[in-house]
Amino acid sequence: MKYLVSQLAHFIKPATQRRNIGLLFRFLLLLVAMVIVFSILFHVLMQAEGRDHSWLTGVYWTLTVMSTLGFGDITFTGDLGRLFSVVVLLSGMFFLLVLLPFTFIEFFYAPWMKAQAEFRAPRELPASMSGHVILTHYDPVSAALIHKLTDYGRPYALLIPDLDQALRMHDLGFNVMFGEVDRPETYQLARVNRAALVAATGSDVVNTNIAFTVRELSKAVPIVTTALSRDSVDILQLAGSSQVIHLSEMMGQALARRIIGVDARAHIIGEFQELLIAEATAAGTPLAGKTLAQSRIRENTGANVIGLWKRGLFEPAVAESRIDATTVLLLAGSADQLRRYDELFCIYHVSGEPVMIIGGGAVGSATARALASREVDYRIIEMAPERIRSDGKHILGSAADLATLESAGIQKSPAVVITTREDDTSIYLTIYCRRLRPDIQILSRATRERNVSTLHRAGADFVLSYASMGATGIFNYMRQASILMLAEGLHAAETQVPHSLAGKSLAESGITRDTQCTVVAIRTSECLAINPRPNIQLTRGATLILMCTPESEARFLERYGPEKIQRQPISDPEEVLS
């Protein structure tokens, strides 16, 4: 009963609906008036023919004739009465069989069904809602973010301006709210003052409108917006964005870091307090062909290999892990330890040939800038003439054309970076380049997460998901951390030593063996032990700093409890270097 009352209240709330109900009520009054008039005339005409019927019989005859049932038990004998019967019959056909169904459907049934649909896709959040994330668009970035929020039990509300789409997504299990993203009332009904975050992932122009609208309603709520253009970053900040994520720049830098065959130095990609995280390629160094135990990296430098990337797949580091020419080492250590690593391996410079970049858009240009900062030569293949610069590094043409690829150096280049926006095109070019050069390193971006595995199967050595990077950046900011996507699904985590492990040595704990999480540091009240030795004692109250994949984190949560672990994203490398 309470549900029906709330539905009725929602149904009659709009002014247009109250007007429709008024029109339907007046039409019903007209029908009642016609029945009364026809019943009176029936009584008069029957008396004129010398017959007398009750008033109830007059109503009965009128309704049977108007509804075309015409039982025939009561009929007129005179022409006037029969003419009156025809008038009543025609009136009933028009008003009862035509106008009444149309009026009922138009003014009541259709609005009622629409109101029921809108009731399933709410226009406002409960008054008690707080700590939630408001998403303004549904796109690959927000879809990946929803998965992260769901995994961590964080409530969210996805704003959908189209009712049909809102209902479809509601039926699919999404927490949607029906409302326009540029209306202040929408955010008031979304309880923006008590929200943990507003994430706008639309176009730069729309994101600017959203940021400005939300900031007028709340001065405190964090607003994270994505930017497609470098010129939009300042404008979005002026509009009220707390953080602007320029995904193209982030992706370009990440792709450039993963290029092997140009140098063997350790490139810092983040930090966790005094702990530095770096990546280094093994191509062209004595490390290729050895196991981790044989490499003696830890003994010679103090830095710890916490994982290996092999053709886009991450492997936790174990003593038997084999290093080959395509391996990218993930290192953890102090500044001195990584400096010692560079002293050993910086002399190895594999190739002086330019790196190929397919696509001169935002991601391709960002990749080129990152390579230029490392003094690495490059060539950009671009089909749009307006993006071609007269610097000798841009080549006009299609990457599907062999002559264009050869002019860019496909036969000698150490790597090709595919930065096209369309995943179908990226898959096509990946297969083509792999056929032309089976030994070349291929790096690609993926707009949608579902195509990451497809690109790997097509031959890409490393794939970076645009959606996952954006979602990770927004999620990290919500947790009050600096923004960096360390790798696809790789992050730092912090947890107190579980009670069951207190008093044991790190080797006895079996954390790496049982969960595949790597302990990269142990923090006590006195110090931070980077790359602790296996015989170090785990004490109650100490904090473990782990490097986890989603799968290894899930195993840790299952073994030691969900309250034991807290994600701690690693800081941006620009902050480290500054």
The whole-angstrom separation of Cα 22 and Cα 137 is 38
The whole-angstrom separation of Cα 347 and Cα 349 is 6
CB-facing half-sphere around the CA of 311: CA atoms within 13 A:
12
Residue 150 Cα to chain centre, angstroms: 11
What pLDDT does residue 513 have? 84
Of 463, 490, 496, the residue nearest 476 (C-alpha): 490
Q: Does domain 133-245 have CATH number 3.40.50.720?
A: yes
Choose the CATH number for 355-468 among 3.10.350.10, 2.60.120.260, 3.40.50.720, 3.90.1150.110.
3.40.50.720
CB-facing half-sphere around the CA of 218: CA atoms within 13 A:
22
The three-state secondary structure class of 360 is coil
Q: 501 CB contacts (<8 Å, ≥6 apart)? A: 509, 511, 538
The whole-angstrom separation of Cα 501 and Cα 491 is 23
What pLDDT does residue 233 have? 92
What pLDDT does residue 480 have? 57
Query: Are the CB atoms for 445 and 422 separated by under 8 Å?
Result: no
Residue 460 CB coordination number (10 Å)? 28
Alpha helices in 451-549 (DSSP H): 452-458, 466-478, 506-509, 511-515
Q: Which fold has domain 481-577?
A: Alpha-Beta Plaits (3.30.70)
Query: Are the CB atoms for 381 and 397 separated by under 8 Å?
Result: yes
The single-letter DSSP state of residue 496 is E
Q: Is 263 left (phi over 0), alpha (psi -120 to 50) or beta?
A: beta
The single-letter DSSP state of residue 417 is E
pLDDT tens, per residue, the chain with 578 residues: 444 555 555 555 666 767 877 888 888 899 999 999 999 999 899 998 889 899 999 999 999 999 988 888 898 988 898 999 999 999 989 988 888 888 888 877 777 777 666 666 788 899 899 999 999 999 999 998 998 888 778 899 999 999 888 888 988 889 999 999 999 999 999 999 999 999 999 999 999 999 999 999 999 999 999 998 888 999 999 999 999 999 888 889 888 877 876 777 887 777 766 788 888 888 778 898 999 999 999 889 988 888 888 766 777 788 888 998 778 888 888 889 999 998 888 777 566 789 999 999 999 999 999 999 888 899 999 999 988 888 889 999 999 999 999 999 999 998 999 999 899 999 999 999 999 998 888 999 998 888 988 998 999 988 888 888 888 888 878 865 433 345 555 677 778 888 888 888 988 888 888 888 888 888 887 787 887 888 888 988 888 888 777 778 778 878 886 544 544 444 443 333 33
What pLDDT does residue 121 have? 73
The Cα diameter of the chain in Å comes to: 125
332-371 as b/e, with b when 16 or more CB fall inside 10 Å?
A: bbbeebbebbbebbeebebbebbbbbbbbbbbbbbbbebb
Tokens for 561, please give them: 């409890």
The three-state secondary structure class of 318 is coil
Q: Do domains 2-120 and 481-577 have the same CATH topology?
A: no
CA distances from 421 to 104, 195, 385, 445, 472 (A): 51, 33, 18, 8, 19
**pTM (two decimals):** 0.66
The whole-angstrom separation of Cα 222 and Cα 232 is 18
Query: Are the CB atoms for 52 and 46 separated by under 8 Å?
Result: yes
The whole-angstrom separation of Cα 34 and Cα 67 is 13
Return the axis-axis angle of helices 247-257 and 362-373, rounded to nearest 10°: 50
Q: 286 CB contacts (<8 Å, ≥6 apart)? A: none
**Long-range pairs of 99-105 with CB within 8 A, sequence gap ≥ 24:** 99/27, 100/27, 100/31, 103/23, 103/24, 103/27, 104/24
Enumerate the β-bridge partners of residue 135: 158, 199
Residue 572 CB coordination number (10 Å)? 18
Phi, psi of 8 (to 5 degrees): -60, -40
Residue 39 Cα to chain centre, angstroms: 67
Of 389, 331, 340, 336, the residue nearest 360 (C-alpha): 389
Q: How far apart are the first and last CA of the chain?
A: 64
**Long-range pairs of 75-80 with CB within 8 A, sequence gap ≥ 24:** 76/45, 76/46, 76/49, 77/49, 78/45, 78/48, 78/49, 80/45, 80/48
Query: Are the CB atoms for 280 and 264 separated by under 8 Å?
Result: yes
Return the axis-axis angle of helices 2-12 and 110-120, rounded to nearest 10°: 110
Q: Which amino acid is at 362?
A: A
What pLDDT does residue 569 have? 42
Query: Are the CB atoms for 303 and 345 separated by under 8 Å?
Result: no
What pLDDT does residue 12 have? 59
Q: Does domain 2-120 have CATH number 1.10.287.70?
A: yes
Could you give the dihedral angle defined by the CA atoms of residues 352, 353, 356 and 361, in that order, rounded to the nearest 10 degrees? 50
Spans of all domains in the chain:
2-120, 133-245, 355-468, 481-577
531-568 as b/e, with b when 16 or more CB fall inside 10 Å?
A: bbeeeeebeeebebbbbbbeebbebbbeebeeebbebb
